Amino acid sequence: MARATATATDFTKPFENMLEQADMAAFGDVFKNVAEFNSKFSSIVLNAAEKNAELSQAWTKDTLKKLQDVTKPHSDPADYAKAIADVTSAQAQSTPDHIAAFAEIAKKAQMDTIELMTTAGKEVQAKATTAAKKATK
């Protein structure tokens, strides 16, 4: 029975031809544009992370400050229960505000990202239109 033999196609020459014909300045522009986009996107992400960290730190400090009342010496055991209840109540009241603040940070990051993507899309479309017009001339 005859065996089928597979031969590897040499793609070296077509790629060499493609690279010879490519406009290397265009590759430089693409790299520059991608680097600028990544920088802007990273700025959005890092800014949101920084604000989240600040909010978390403020919430933690506030919680620890309220817990100091629990650690103070009390003569009556009921005073400890009251201090714990006060801390718990204060946390229950402040939690929605803190969660809303986290949501606002996320919302701003989302809107900034959408704006960045929209702007990038418009720029790519404009460049593609310009390139198409040049190619048809």
pLDDT digits (tens, 9 = 90+) for 16-44: 777 666 666 666 677 888 899 999 999 99
pLDDT digits (tens, 9 = 90+) for 54-109: 999 999 999 999 999 889 998 898 999 999 999 999 999 999 999 999 999 999 99
- The pLDDT confidence band at residue 4, using thresholds 50, 70 and 90, is low
Who contacts 84 (Cβ-Cβ below 8 Å, separation ≥6)? 70
pLDDT at residue 3 in the model = 65
pLDDT digits (tens, 9 = 90+) for 117-128: 999 999 888 888
pLDDT of 12 > 60? The answer is yes
pLDDT of 1 > 60? The answer is no
Q: Fill in the DSSP letter of residue 76.
A: S
Q: What is the pTM of this model?
A: 0.69
Q: What is the DSSP string of 69-82?
A: HHHS--SSHHHHHH
